[in-house]
Amino acid sequence: MAVSLFAEHKANGLVFFTIPSFTATGLTKHGFSSRQGGVSTGECSSLNLSLKRKDLPENVRKNFEIFCDALGIDTGRMVFAVQAHGDKVAAVDEKDRGKGFMRGSDITEADGLITDKPGVALVTFHADCVPLFFLDPEKKAIGLAHAGWRGTIARIGAKTIAAMQDKFNTDPGDCLAAIGPSIGQCCFEVDKPVADGFRAAFPQHAERLIEPIGEKYHVDLWLANKIQLIEAGIREENITIADMCTACNKDMFFSHRRDLGRTGSHAAMIMLA
């Protein structure tokens, strides 16, 4: 049985979430933002963390200052990639700090980031898609991935672990992993072609992953990602699942699907301390 639930933190109106198993190691500073505690207004109210939404850049920068201050991370240490709903994983280091926030990012079409360098804060953006956190406490390496339905089918989570094995000699059996707040099976309704994509990608688990409802299908992205992490060698007891649906919880989370694209974005962030 996978460990459930992230820890919730509140301070001065800000709400964010951390992973208890990661915190217990003392090796990382990390978190996943909610929509609460920022300065943005309108559809991006209030802690929008994407510069690509309908928000003022100065609001987004202030929101990052608020979130990063709570995590104890300097904004100049952050690394953003240009996400593409794919399966590319990029290894980054100190020279990449500031990309995407202080200057443009040349880390293109990458939905996974890994590093073994302290002081390099990996960042991915989410508004329903699944955030995947990775920590190798033995080799002292971290990873972060953005897994939408396309990335989940393409096994971005497993490929992030494979990249850590290749770059840092990570043993998946040593790793901690977490599946963050994202759209749940309750709200992730798809048509037959997408459901068929999951059947092809996870043939032995299709009945558990896909629930037919009328002419539509509801797919369990959390379980699909958990399955691939276990198949990649991560022990089930080392996987934490937030068990929070972004589409269900309007007051707490942005949701691209619920709000028909008129919404803000959360950030997942992790740094070796």
Domains and CATH numbers, the chain: 3-182+236-272 (3.60.140.10)
Give the DSSP per-residue string, 13-81: TEEEEE-HHHHHHT-EEEEEE-S-S----GGGTTT---TTSSS-HHHHHHHHHHHHHHHT--GGGEEE-
* Mean pLDDT rounded to a whole number for the chain: 97
pLDDT of 1 > 80? The answer is no
Sign of CA dihedral 264, 259, 108, 176: positive
pLDDT of 178 > 60? The answer is yes
pTM above 0.75, yes or no: yes
- Residue 71 is predicted with a pLDDT of 98
pLDDT of 56 > 80? The answer is yes
Across residues 152-158, what is the average pLDDT? Answer: 98
